[in-house]
Chains A and B, each alone.
Chain A
């Protein structure tokens, strides 16, 4: 199989996929090695960046095609998507979960100093967080962690891309 053909095939697969495609799934579908897929994706990324309105990005642990930012206004005018940006309070709850996961609601409350149950419920509904288990303590409270959708929502490939945070000194509070 020539590399040109592989790049075209990868483009076709990524065109039809509705969620990030992993290296493994692409390699398995095209019956090639993951190294070949990686090389093909590099070529595809380069080719798309040079022309057209689509680009290839690494997101939520996989690869996906999306529109280039310069066409954002035109696409938004056409699709008129519902804006679902998070409020400051929801963002705060999410940030606590992101940096301290897996975490219980009680721990989130203790960290923020206010009740966070509503925020947690909203984030679960938005599929940005999910139950990841239960803490083996009295009451077996639910532990929450982030989802693939969280990575997708913030265009992250991995949680390692999150900015580091510092622990506040006690007297600074």
Chain B
């Protein structure tokens, strides 16, 4: 057992700099640490010393001796010392517990179980597959899917520029509100759902973007609505017309 010796010092100036009651200045002396209880507490909290090397029995003994020998001691100081002592004991108890062995991730476990895998010489096979792929591209089959590049479907915007569309969108953004705080969050509509909604509320007569996009949408939702409009323009479902200084969006009529 460690050498037990402690010197009790009591001062009247026990209020710490931060207004917190400082623990009583118990001087602790152990084979591995010599200093005040407050200093030990500080060193442990800052991980400057390993508490497993410091026996806490003499520290506790010193504390109880203090309580017994000085019955008129400041109760708040004593309580602060008890809190510091409780912290040290708890930390030491945790540090003495065996560390749980981390369970290997299923993936790592699987990798470890694989051992040495046979290594195949795939170079030739890859070259053959690439050659077959090139040859296959020279044969065309009937297909239900459109083979033309979906992103090259022609659509007519006449003299309307991207800047014109951007200005129309800026008006919507200026009107929309910041994203409301929603602790639980609300599932956002998918782009496809917004496109469907948009088509359903698109009036027969071309109208402004401000009329199409709901007034109460947030800025983020406004961006989503705008993307849906652009997508519908690309797909030829919405046409854009210029009316003096503003753009009108309407259902596209097929020729």
Contacts and interface: CB of A to CB of B under 8 A. Distances in A.
Interface in B116-166: 116-122, 124-126, 128-130, 132-144, 147-149, 152
Contacts of B117: 107, 110-111
A65 interface: yes
Given A106-B111, A138-B109, 19 more contacts: A64-B141, A66-B139, A66-B141, A80-B152, A81-B149, A86-B133, A88-B126, A95-B129, A98-B125, A99-B122, A99-B125, A100-B120, A106-B107, A106-B114, A107-B117, A109-B111, A156-B132, A163-B128, A165-B124
A144 to B, nearest CB: 14
Contacts of A109: 111
A69 B181 CA distance: 60
B139 A155 contact: yes
A166 interface: yes
Contacts of A17: 142
A82 B139 CA distance: 14
B16 interface: no
Interface in B182-217: none
B238 to A, nearest CB: 24
A2 interface: no
Contacts of B143: 18
A80 B146 CA distance: 11
B120 A166 contact: yes
Contacts of A100: 120
27 contacts: A17-B142, A18-B141, A18-B144, A65-B141, A65-B142, A66-B140, A69-B135, A72-B138, A80-B152, A85-B133, A88-B126, A95-B125, A100-B120, A104-B110, A106-B107, A109-B111, A110-B117, A139-B106, A154-B129, A155-B136, A155-B139, A162-B128, A163-B124, A163-B128, A165-B124, A168-B118, A173-B119
Given A154-B133, A166-B121, A72 B139 contact: yes
Given A165-B124, A168-B120, A79 B140 contact: yes
A140 B107 CA distance: 10
B96 interface: no
Interface string A119-155: 0000000000000000101111100000000000111
Given A65-B142, A111-B119, A153 B148 contact: no
Nearest to A156: B132
Contacts of A111: 117, 119-120
Contact of A106 (B110, B135, B137, B139): B110
A153 to B, nearest CB: 6
Contact of B125 (A66, A106, A156, A165): A165
B135 A155 contact: yes
Interface in B78-105: 105
B147 A79 contact: yes
Interface string A18-39: 1000000000000000000000
A75 interface: yes
